């Protein structure tokens, strides 16, 4: 059986296209609702250990709210602030304290970039990849917001509460 040049060229193009498609996509680890709840539970345990309330928000890597928990006593606006801290940490892929420090250091234009460059937002990192973030507001101090957020962010380190 003889193959024509057109058939060979078509086969080569299909092979090249399938290779190009395979190289243009990738799998990624994503935060699940169970993972978000595990992060919040670890943060809540830290807050309860300090005998304090707080609002705890968990977002995915795009800053979309996945889970919110309010531990009393805390103030009503804490839910909004914690969510914005989490969004800020997720989208900048950095702890929000870094932005707060930059603003305190004179980079005040950052105030126009995002709404919550305040201490208490931490990225959630699994296998070196940011899969979401946690934001905490309403604890006894900004420093405690950060400690509680760090406890939550560490909850998934080395675990598989995220999906591929």
Give the domain extent around 121: 30-163
d(CA 134, CA 86): 5
Does residue 15 belong to any structural domain of this protein? no
Q: Which is nearest to 137 in space by CA: 123, 157, 124, 122?
A: 122
The answer to whether position 100 is within a domain reads yes
The winner for highest mean pLDDT among 23-32, 65-74, 101-110 is 65-74
Q: What does the DSSP 8-state code read for residue 77?
A: T
At 154, which CATH number? 3.30.450.150
Q: Is residue 117 part of a domain?
A: yes
Residue 148 lies in a domain: yes
Reported as type and span, the H/E element at residue 71 is strand 65-71
Per-residue pLDDT reduced to its tens digit, 7-47: 767 766 666 666 655 567 778 899 999 999 999 999 999 99
pLDDT for res 111: 79
- With the CA atoms of 96, 147, 133 and 80 taken in that order, what torsion angle do they form, in degrees rounded to the nearest 10? -70
Crossing angle between the packed helical segments 96-104 and 78-92, to the nearest 10 degrees: 90
First to last CA, the chain: 45
Number of domains in the chain: 1
Does residue 47 form part of some domain?
A: yes
Question: Using the 8-state DSSP alphabet, how is residue 115 labeled?
Answer: S
pLDDT tens digits for range 42-61: 999 999 999 999 999 999 99
Full-model pTM? 0.81
Per residue in 106-140, pLDDT (tens digit) is 888 877 776 777 899 999 999 999 999 999 999 99
Q: Phi and psi for 43 in degrees, rounded to 5?
A: -65, -45
21, part of any domain? no
Q: In what order do the strands lie in the sheet with 54-60?
A: 65-71, 54-60, 129-137, 121-126
Does residue 43 lie in a domain region? yes
In a domain, 7, yes or no: no
């Amino acid at each position: 059986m003889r193959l024509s040049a057109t058939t060979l060229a078509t086969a080569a193009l299909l092979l090249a296209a399938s290779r190009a498609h395979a190289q243009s996509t990738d799998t990624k680890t994503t935060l699940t609702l169970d993972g978000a709840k595990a992060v919040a539970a670890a943060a809540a345990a830290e807050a309860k250990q300090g005998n304090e309330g707080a609002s705890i928000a968990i977002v995915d890597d795009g800053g979309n709210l996945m889970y919110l928990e309010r531990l009393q006593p805390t103030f009503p606006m804490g839910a909004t602030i914690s969510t914005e801290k989490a969004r800020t940490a997720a989208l900048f892929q950095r702890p929000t304290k870094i932005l707060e420090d930059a603003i305190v250091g004179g980079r005040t234009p950052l105030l126009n970039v995002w709404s919550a460059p305040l201490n208490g937002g931490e990225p959630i990192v699994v296998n070196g990849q940011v899969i979401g973030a946690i934001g905490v507001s309403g604890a006894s101090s900004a420093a405690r917001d950060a400690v509680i957020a760090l406890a939550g962010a560490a909850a998934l380190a080395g675990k598989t509460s995220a999906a591929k």
